[in-house]
Copies of this chain bind each other. A is one copy, B any other.
């Protein structure tokens, strides 16, 4: 049982005294671009090293009004897409000398309590992945001058930026692919009903099919969850109108769906049923699954996200910016192949119809 007091660290004043200079000199030594002679600088650095001094980022934040912390709110970490994103974000933010305060395990609705926490730390920016934000809160961020970026979601709300891929075109491309593969009946396993990704992918899919005179799509909902996707798959495969081509709204669900198809219904993929996913993430590439999937360029999406944040932090202008990137339909073995339209790029097979 101790007092519970953390030993105080070395302060700039202590370093100053030790080096025989003022506290200002110490501060300037650790402030890039500040006016300081290299002689005193060396003295300070020597003393700092000897005393084990490290600038206190907390104190610095207080006066600069910059925490150099970015809040990241992320759920669905069980979907490997997001750990992937997280890892890239960590890298990209570190490169800009920013740090990542992670809030996790919150679903769409209750992002508000977590929001309170994150605002208390005066974060310089907010990244919302697989989560949305109420309009009051996004408004509050805007007036507080804190940039917000939705990652892999989008919203009409101004003052909230977003980074996505062309989900509608992706859905459409998948429709083209499946039609070109000679399929006659089509199904869709949906993600979260109110998510923009799900809405756009489905819309594109339906449009694409409609372009070929197909108006009926068997739909079940998996809510981007593995367990629910399994149930959705079971319902789908017991329908009298079981489709021969199935678009599953993301790979995370597609993996679950494939296991159900093969091991619970004895379906052969792609002979009995073609399955196409979305994200082109980890397990999609494993030989057991080999999912034909629309890719989302994680690295470029992350770059765009950080780019938007850095811009808005530097300029102080919070103005919604929507970056929309392109993906490719990576062709593997989970769906029947069309006669034409498949090209090779970077060692991968890509579906690229002529009119695209």
Contact = CB atoms under 8 A, between A and B. Distances in A.
Interface of A: 1-9, 52, 54-59, 61-62, 65-67, 69, 72, 77-78, 80, 82-84, 86-87, 90-91, 94, 99-105, 114, 116-117, 119-122, 124, 140, 143-146, 255-256, 258-259, 262-263, 282-283, 286-289, 313-317
Given A105-B91, A289-B288, A67 B77 contact: no
A325 to B, nearest CB: 22
B52 A140 contact: yes
How many monomers of this chain does the complex have? 2
B54 A145 contact: no
Contact of A103 (B90, B283, B287): B90
9 contacts: A6-B145, A6-B313, A57-B121, A77-B87, A91-B105, A94-B103, A94-B105, A101-B102, A263-B288
B315 A288 contact: no
Given A86-B77, A105-B87, A4 B120 contact: no
Contacts of A143: 7
Interface of chain A, helix or strand or loop or mixed?
Answer: mixed
A122 B78 contact: no
Given A87-B77, A263-B287, A62 B62 contact: yes
Contact of A59 (B62, B83, B255, B288): B62
A315 B262 contact: no
Given A87-B104, A315-B4, A99 B82 contact: no
A318 to B, nearest CB: 10
Given A57-B122, A78-B80, 5 more contacts: A3-B316, A4-B316, A9-B144, A54-B116, A262-B287
A151 to B, nearest CB: 15
A259 B288 contact: yes
B94 A84 contact: no
B90 A84 contact: no
